[in-house]
Chains A and B, each alone.
Chain A
Amino acid sequence: MTERLAVKKTYKLYIGGKFPRSESGRSYPVADAQGEFLANAAWASRKDARDAVAAARKAFPGWSGATAYNRGQVLYRVAEVMEGRRAQFVDEVAAGEGLSRSKAERAVDESIDRWVWYAGWSDKIAQVVGSSNPVAGPYFDFSVPEPTGVVAVLAPQSSSLLGLVSVVAPVLVGGNTAVVTSSYERPLPAITLSEVLATSDVPGGVVNILTGRVGDTAPSLAAHMDVNAIDLAGAAHDHGNATQLELAAAENLKRVIRAPEAEPDWAAQPGLNRITSFLETKTVWHPVGT
């Protein structure tokens, strides 16, 4: 009996709910931590980045307009679907990050739980950061958080799944849509996550994932006038590049989360900063009278 010939997957980008190849036609080989070939991944171009921004913008009204309850359900669903693919994520994290099986399992479990944690924030964040304002006059005055818009997210380079989830989930929970650049050397968990997102009620375009060199796409995203904010987490260790991206982001006053000097411990309990950095406070006044 002959051994079954495996069906190899073509790894593609995730834009607007679809899985296109890079318009550039380029791909690059991905190796495991020992340098053994794993797969070819799509090598996103500037044009792919712009397409992803257009898709994210198109998805913004629907996602930001969804009820908080609904967004929470959708994000919880991501955790459910990830749980079903747990073994695949463990394989990819272990291979890509060179972790032991048990450490990879812990990273995957924490990633799934992180979706659960953020999912629960969807209908609570407005109560925690919003307010009723006791103005000195006959007015009803209240402040509510609203999503900033389209957020470019440079996902961490080292922590290919837990780091990725830790920067994407907080963007989504507030109602933003995202264009994400994955880890260059370890893109497979991001690609698998895109398949999870595509099958878990997250509307197409809400998350768009680009694999490839961050240096090819990040400058376009940082300078893009229809991107409202950028998380530079993936530019840790590269102060010069992070500064260039922050300079470009100033052109339309993007909200910026700066790159840390080194990648933080993503297993630590997150605070609210990553949610609130991509929320705007809107204050509404109305007279009170008979």
Chain B
Amino acid sequence: MAKFEYAPAPESRAIVDIKSSYGLFIDGEFADPAGGGAFKSVNPATEEVLADIAEAAEADVDRAVAAARKAYTQTWSRLSGRDRGKYLFRIARLVQERSRELAVLESIDNGKPIRESRDVDIPLVAAHFFYYAGWADKLEYAGLSGASSGSPRPFGVAAQVIPWNFPLLMLAWKIAPALATGNTVVLKPAETTSLTALLFAEICQQAELPPGVVNIITGAGETGRLLVEHPDVDKVAFTGSTEVGKAIARSVAGTTKKATLELGGKAANIIFDDAPVDQAIEGIVNGIFFNQGHVCCAGSRLLVQESVYDDVLTSLKRRLGTLRVGDPLDKNTDVGAINSAEQLARIRELSDVGEAEGAERWSSPCDLPDRGFWFAPTVFTSVTQAHRIAREEIFGPVLSVLTFRTPAEAVEKANNTPYGLSAGVWTDKGSRILWMSQQLRAGVVWANTFNRFDPTSPFGGYKESGYGREGGRHGLAAYLRTEDPA
């Protein structure tokens, strides 16, 4: 099937005003970092330098944590739940009002298609703030305090470190429940995607959020480590790699800090022979090529029942041939840019390993732009469970295909991983869906759908995909002390 010829339909950049340099957002004000360090943020689709971003050093982390502590003791913990909620409602409304600006900026800084930042990321950000805004004055109904105690109490200062794949959405997942429950936060965005977090800081100012309740400090891994290990932090929330998650689990050992971790995945997307094929193909594509595969819960291992293997592969390749890879700001684009040169190198390396280990590589025939970081949608067949591409998280648009004969074999292969974040099941048989959902050791099971998110729906992993849940009533537990007499 040939691609339809579409004229380019680029979203205008005029709505965003990117400054040449950004400071740190501490105690309600933008300030220069103590050491004066900075790094550059790059548009991954063009390699154009977007801005200089302040690099927070130890003294800055100290200042940010001190500001959050002061705001916690003097302001935020004294505020009623109703007023906390009203600030969050304000923020939600401002996100909606400035949604176009946020979406364009997200696509420029991250490389994801505008269709996705406009239709998925930013609407979910607003929805998250709306959802948790409503919880702020209802915490005693959440069933999280013991039978004898009253309203559950917040931890105090939360250190939050987020990844680059859904920059503003991950910020919302962290900040909305933390503030609703009465904590104050110091958040560090990923170093390649700081811009929407800094725009969010402006939104906090616009909402007249009391200074110090939200502090945003930019920097790389070292800044994150300093923040997480800061002695005056009570709670650590991290989304990112399992490797860093383990380091954080070690760093909080022996302390009273509570950690929640949302880490890597290697999800199986399981296609049974009675699955509605056209829907399943869309689900496979959405599962691994959504957001360039930069998704911790991506369906990166396709398990296809043997009897339909040929049909599924043929349809899948045909569909992949129609995906438009290119300018993230073009409204027709399906697959955008890889977020950074480092990530592109990692995807290339693991794909080369896949070939070297004997898997067969097929890439969608598409023209990639000359500048920027790009990787064509790629499918590996003849993959075995021992292959690194079937075991390691690639975090890119690369799908590994394996086969199975029986439901039990599908379950065994799906669960044969140290991860346990998500899984997909495609079948027309209701009882099989429910049986599979029980058997799969994963925190989220999408049946006849994939990569759906909602603020009311708890999300998080089993095993080495981390612990704690984000979203829903369960997401409150990550930010509240639960009374525990014994």
Contact = CB atoms under 8 A, between A and B. Distances in A.
- Interface SS majority for chain A: mixed
B473 interface: yes
B250 interface: yes
Contact of A253 (B261, B469, B485): B261
A6 B127 CA distance: 73
A250 interface: yes
A85 interface: no
Given A247-B253, A271-B147, A281 B469 contact: yes
B452 A135 contact: yes
A195 interface: no
Contacts of B457: 133, 135, 141, 143, 283, 285
A143 B482 contact: no
Interface in A134-148: 134-137, 139, 141, 143, 148
A37 B250 CA distance: 41
A253 B254 contact: no
Interface string B249-265: 11001100000010100
B454 interface: yes
B464 A134 contact: no
A283 B444 contact: yes
A250 B459 contact: no
A253 B449 contact: no
Interface string A260-290: 0000111011111110100011111111000
Contact of B473 (A131, A266, A272): A131
B220 to A, nearest CB: 22
Contact of A250 (B250, B263, B458): B250
Given A283-B445, A287-B449, A135 B456 contact: yes
Contacts of B249: 249-250, 253
Contacts of B456: 133-136, 141
Interface string A107-151: 000000000000000000000110101111101010100001000
A269 B464 contact: no
A243 interface: yes
Given A128-B143, A270-B486, A271-B483, A286 B447 contact: yes
Interface residue tally on B, bucketed by range: 35 or more
A286 B467 contact: no
21 contacts: A133-B457, A141-B454, A141-B456, A143-B458, A239-B254, A243-B253, A247-B250, A249-B253, A250-B249, A252-B464, A253-B263, A269-B147, A271-B147, A271-B485, A271-B486, A273-B482, A273-B483, A274-B484, A282-B462, A285-B457, A286-B448
Given A252-B463, A264-B485, A271-B485, A280 B253 contact: no
Interface string A142-179: 01000010000000000000000010000000000000
Contacts of A268: 485-486
B418 interface: yes
Interface string B425-453: 00000000100010000111111110010
Contact of B463 (A131, A253, A276, A286): A253
Contacts of A136: 127, 454, 456
By CB atoms of chain B within 10 A, which of A253, A271, A280 has the most? A253
Contacts of B146: 271-272
B245 interface: yes
A280 B458 contact: no
Contact of B454 (A135, A252, A280): A135
Nearest to A233: B486
Given A252-B463, A271-B484, A280-B462, A243 B444 contact: no
B449 to A, nearest CB: 5
Nearest to A239: B254
Contacts of A129: 143, 474
A285 B447 contact: yes
